[in-house]
Structure 1
Amino acid sequence: MTSLLILNGPNLNLLGTRQPEVYGKTTLNDIEAMCAAHAQRLNIRVSCLQSNHEGALIDAIHAAKGTHDGIVLNAGAFTHTSIALMDAIASVELPVIELHLSNIHAREAFRHKSYIAPVALGQICGFGAAGYGLAIDALMAHLS
């Protein structure tokens, strides 16, 4: 059975209350439930993990090799700063979809640079919580 890792980075545990005008009112628990329901419809397995710590995200990416077939990664602000996350993704050789709730290209200039994009299969941004389902579908299309 196909297995995907849904990996969320810093501050995403605050979804629903953190800047709802930017990130929406959907909570991380809601998103994880949406991902699980979508996976069930597709007859695949998803595992969800969130951490505010860069090293924990890197460890999860490393552990995904041999366990999962692909990763949906919302790295939050680490997208714009973490060469280490980029290297981890390149090292495990799994397809990764970079995901953002907001349109990072329509925001502050520092958010326009992504260290994840060069090693990602693609990027989905600006569709809010619906982006997770789009990312799952994109990974499944790539894997089939």
Structure 2
Amino acid sequence: MMNLLVLHGINLNMFGQRDPAQYGTATLADIDAALHALAGELGVAVECFQTNHEGAMCERIHQAHRDGVAAVVINAGAWTHTSVAIRDALAILKCPIVEVHMSNIHAREPFRQQSYIADIARGQISGFGVDSYLLGLRAAASAAQAAIKK
């Protein structure tokens, strides 16, 4: 069974409480439950990880490299726009990376429209709330399966 990793970045543990007009009312636990349900339908295993510590995120990405995960879905939160360290850690991976965002970052403040991850990601899905994560997981599973067939 393919192992996929979903990474949630800084402040995303506050989903459901933080700016519901922008991010909706789903909690991180709700999102993780939906991801696990979809993973079961897709026949893949998924692990979800959230941290508010940049070094811990980099270390989890390094572990994903050592573990040989098949694909990574990441919502780095504000680190999307600020963290070269997380971008460099992701660049170590040999598997597909799918960047996701609950809100449409391209329709928000100018500083949110720049992503340090976009150029190394297979693709980016934003603006669909929880569905951004689910679409991202589908895309990651598909990209991982295609990589295996090569």
TM class by shorter chain equals: over 0.9
**How many positions carry a matched residue from both structures?**
144
The whole-number CA distance in structure 2 between the counterparts of 1:24 and 1:10 is: 17
The whole-number CA distance in structure 2 between the counterparts of 1:91 and 1:42 is: 26
Give percent identity, aligned residues only: 49
Q: Unmatched 5+ residue regions in structure 1? A: none
Tell me, yes or no, if the aligned pair for 2:95 and 2:144 is still in contact at 8 Å: no
The one-character-per-residue Cα deviations of 1:112-139 (angstroms, maximum 9, x if unpaired) are: 1100001111101000001111011111
Q: Tell me the SS of whatever aligns to 1:75.
A: strand
Q: Unmatched 5+ residue regions in structure 2? A: 146-150
Give me the TM-score of the superposition, normalised by structure 2: 0.93
Q: Which amino acid aligns with 1:91?
A: I
Tell me, yes or no, if the aligned pair for 2:44 and 2:141 is still in contact at 8 Å: no
The whole-number CA distance in structure 2 between the counterparts of 1:42 and 1:94 is: 18
- Partner of 1:12 in structure 2? 12
Tell me, yes or no, if the aligned pair for 2:4 and 2:71 is still in contact at 8 Å: yes
Q: CA deviation at 1:40?
A: 0.6
Give me the TM-score of the superposition, normalised by structure 1: 0.97
Moved over 3 A (4+): none
- Partner of 2:143 in structure 1? 142
Alignment of 1:51-130 (within 5 A): 51-67=51-67, 68-130=69-131
The whole-number CA distance in structure 2 between the counterparts of 1:138 and 1:112 is: 22
Q: Tell me the SS of whatever aligns to 1:93.
A: coil
The whole-number CA distance in structure 2 between the counterparts of 1:65 and 1:25 is: 33
